[in-house]
Chain A
Amino acid sequence: MARMKFLCDADRCIECNACVTACKNENEVPWGINRRRVVTINDGKPGERSISMACMHCTDAPCMAVCPVDCFYNTADGVVLHNKDLCIGCGYCFYACPFGAPQYPKVGNFGSRGKMDKCTYCSGGPEVDLSPAEFQKYGSNRLAEGKLPLCAEMCSTKSLLAGDGEIIAQIYKERVLKRGYGSGAWGWQTAYKETIAI
């Protein structure tokens, strides 16, 4: 059985934020919530790295372990989804997640968080597949349409990989073998001479 995974090839990410925009547009994510974001390390300095982050659909998800109302569930594809009808907006999953994936609309009165929202791996939620109710709560269900998450499909440099974990890991290994890694990569010496080594 294929397990769905994301893999960001940090050597290719150019921080264009197209994945963030594609996700927001495809799923009609409300203001104030970003299911995906690009994190840049050493911004503006030599050796700068960017990585696109969202829910990593953990095999042993900590959000699922801490949820007091058991609103999370794992699909046969290994995607971690949640039921917004059960969510009480307690925020435990936000504290448990090492990637900061769960987001809250914060539209309720008296500072309440509202129903949690996170990346669904473009595979909707517990509602009937491709129904308007599913779209309204969770966004599009591209997996049911025989497609992959739009963030990965839109990536211009093919940095963000999505799909069967084994296949994308193989693709990444092939890339690393071909280009080298870090300062060993093709073109590195031309760009930086020998001043920077990582």
Chain B
Amino acid sequence: MTSASLPGAEETTMSQKLKETVTPAFDRRSFFKALGAGAAVAATPAMVTPAAAVDPGKEETKARYQESEHVKNYYRVNRY
């Protein structure tokens, strides 16, 4: 059996023919392809900077605990 005798083979050729004749210069697919490429270019920063964790700084991480009279008194009463 040849491909031409297959059922539907004629339709395929027909649709191919139709595509060839109807396809415009700038169809829907190529429009979205161009749009996506444009968006990707726009999203790329001019200079890629390395990601860095936030450094809380010395002032935030300094020691606040003081062995004040208040704290000493707390330790004393907790020994009872």
Residues of chain A whose beta carbon lies under 8 Å from any beta carbon of chain B: 1-2, 4, 69-71, 73-77, 81, 83, 86, 123, 126, 129, 141, 143-144, 146-148, 152-153, 158, 161, 163-164, 167-168, 171, 174
Contacts and interface: CB of A to CB of B under 8 A. Distances in A.
Given A143-B65, A148-B74, A163-B71, A174 B79 contact: yes
Contacts of B57: 126
Interface of B: 53-54, 56-57, 60-68, 70-71, 74-75, 77-80
Nearest to A126: B60
Nearest to B69: A146
Contacts of B67: 2, 164
A73 B68 contact: no
Nearest to A69: B54
A167 B75 contact: yes
A146 B62 contact: no
A102 B2 CA distance: 73
B42 to A, nearest CB: 26
A77 B75 contact: no
Contacts of B71: 146-148, 163
Contacts of B74: 148, 152-153, 163
Nearest to B68: A146
Contacts of A69: 54
A60 B28 CA distance: 56
A147 B57 CA distance: 24
24 contacts: A1-B63, A2-B63, A2-B65, A2-B67, A4-B65, A70-B54, A71-B54, A75-B62, A76-B62, A77-B63, A77-B65, A81-B60, A83-B54, A83-B56, A129-B64, A141-B64, A143-B64, A144-B64, A147-B68, A152-B74, A158-B78, A164-B65, A168-B75, A171-B79
